[in-house]
Chain A
Amino acid sequence: QLQLQESGSGLVKPSQTLSLTCAVSGDSMNGGGYTWNWIRQPPGKDLEWIGQIYQSGSTYYNPSLTRRVTISIDKSKNQFSLELTSVTTADTAVYYCTRGVTTWGQGILVTVTS
């Protein structure tokens, strides 16, 4: 059964870089043509798609975040990662990783605070 698990720092200082990893278990990232996505949800607010990566390494980002976002994939470790630079308190959110629309991680709360 496919499972996704987010990990990374839950506390980040303003202006620093947020880094998260999504570990994929139960299936290989090498095939299938799936999109691997990052989505976030600020406390009490709506869902926001951050971006996606294909197994080929092709990426697509939300235009509102594209200058600060990098998504990468490490198929040898069966994981993909998110980096968000120059964070502010507005980046405080629960961050989810997904495979397509069907499978979501449980989410990880990242708080930006000094």
Chain B
Amino acid sequence: EIVLTQSPGTLSVSPGERVTLSCRASQSLSRTYLAWYQQKPGQAPRLLMYGGSTRATGIPDRFSGSGSGTDFTLTISRLEPEDFALYYCQQYSPSPPWTFGQGTKVEV
């Protein structure tokens, strides 16, 4: 099972700042099978990125994903007020089980 570790656990930032979230895998993972989600209270996770660096439909271009091997990053270039939320990474390898990171909370 691939364990994903996200850091930091909580990020305190201000609107307009650049934010970088980290997701580290316990073993090498193809970027093809790495996704990022945003979740707000009481809502289902919203897909932001898949394939490591491809934005999902309707996701603004201030969100970007990068990385390879065991280290992956989600960057928000300029934080908007609606971006304060919980962020999860997920690996969806063709060889299950799929796993999620423990999340990073982006707060004011």
Contact = CB atoms under 8 A, between A and B. Distances in A.
| A and B bind | yes
Interface of A: 37, 46-49, 51-52, 60-63, 96, 100-102, 104-107
Contacts of A105: 44
Interface string B85-108: 000101010001111111100000
B45 A49 contact: no
Contacts of B1: 63
Contact of B47 (A47, A51, A62, A102): A102
Nearest to A49: B98
Contacts, number: 44
Is chain B's binding surface mostly helix, strand, loop or mixed? loop
A107 B103 CA distance: 19
Given A101-B92, A102-B56, A49 B100 contact: yes
Contacts of A101: 35, 47, 50, 90, 92
A96 B44 contact: yes
A46 B104 CA distance: 11
A106 B44 contact: yes
A63 B99 CA distance: 12
Contact of A104 (B44, B92, B97, B101): B44
